[in-house]
Amino acid sequence: MEVERNNQARVQRSHPKLHFSFSPGFNRVIVSFGNFFQPFQRFAGRTKTVGNGFSKHVDGPVVTRLKPGENENQIASGFMIAIPKLILASASPRRAEILRSVGWPFEILPVHIDESRGEEEIAASYVERVALAKAQAALQRDSTASILGADTVVVIDNQILGKPVDEDDARRMLRLLSGRWHQVLTGVALIYGATSQSRVAHELTEVRFAEMNEDEINWYVATGEPLDKAGAYAIQGHGALFIEGLRGDYFNVVGLPVRLLYKLFRADSLNTSMRHI
């Protein structure tokens, strides 16, 4: 019993509570830090819920939702972040899943733009330009929202690999990547609708492929997974079987460097909702 109490105290010291609550209209999420909400108690190995609402066990913080009638002013003092709801200018299920996994509220608004690359355009400039063009296209349809645009490419030997046009093109890309390091770049554009300010940046991650023989290449292409992926592979899917090394942000390879997105959001001139209370 004494050991259990000691473990409980250690867990509570090492994991500050994290609280998500939605404002009326569900147009933003409030994240606060601090040892504050009494109805929820964290125990080693499990989470106990007392009163209304719900909580769930996670490896790090406890994630909860306010009870009906509560508001952010009823949360004890701490560091508060009012994250605006985003319009995701992309139909990518992978980007949507990343936002969903970190609890960032969003709606999907697919856009169609000309993604042709300029003759002398380098990869970093290309992904930033396309990401911004996507966000701007979405802004034309909703001028008040915060818009997120993103674009991902694979680069090897100064060649930009987009999505393969067919199975033969996918095989060509996989042969090119086999046994070698390559780069994955994602451009991220964030337009804050209230002011129309924009910020654009890109993330670069290096990935090493294992050697692939023809049987492995044919098998992987036959799964269908490479056909709608930049560089003809998905690191979060069957493609993980052939990844030997990674330097940088894993989520960037999936399609959205969420840490970079958060850094853009935090920029003082763009974000007016972060504060101490």
CA angle, 5 then 9 then 10, to 5°: 115
Alpha-carbon distance of 15 to 34, in angstroms, equals 10
CA distance 236 to 246: 13
Reported as type and span, the H/E element at residue 216 is helix 214-222
261-269 contacts at long range (C-beta below 8 A, 24 or more positions apart): 261/148, 261/188, 261/190, 263/201, 264/188, 264/190, 264/199, 264/201, 265/83, 265/190, 267/199, 269/197
274-276 sheet: strands from edge to edge: 18-22, 28-33, 79-84, 274-276
Q: Give dist(CA 236, CA 100) in Å, integer.
A: 16
Q: How many helices (H) and strands (E) does the chain have?
A: 7, 15
Whats the size of the chain, residue-wise?
Answer: 277
The yes-or-no answer on residue 249 being catalytic is no
Question: Which of the residues 151, 157, 168, 215 is marked catalytic?
Answer: 151
**What are the phi and psi torsion angles at 151 (to 5°)?**
-150, 135
Q: Which helix (H) or strand (E) holds 56?
A: strand 55-56
Structure-token pair, residue 100: 């969903």
Among all residues, which ones are annotated catalytic?
A: 151
